[in-house]
Amino acid sequence: MTTTALIIMLGTWAVISYFTVRFFLRIFRSPHLHNPTEDALEDQLKE
């Protein structure tokens, strides 16, 4: 494998993997979309 191909491949993999993991960690830190109790209250109010 040529050095240029290796650098491009590893560089691309690193950038994409870094952002994927980073964003997923942020999602895992606040995993709940909403509070079920608040949702029920909001739905009741809308009705």
In whole angstroms, give the CA distance from residue 14 to residue 17. Answer: 5
Least Å from the CB of residue 44 to other proteins: 11
Site for other proteins in 1-47 (CB under 8 A): 1-2, 4-6, 8-9, 12-13, 16-17, 19-20, 23-24, 26-28, 30-34, 39, 42-43, 46
How far apart are alpha carbons 22 and 9 in whole angstroms? 20
Q: Shortest Cβ distance from residue 1 to other proteins (Å)?
A: 4
DSSP 13-31: HHHHHHHHHHHHHHHHHS-
State which residue, 33 or 37, has the beta carbon closest to other proteins: 33
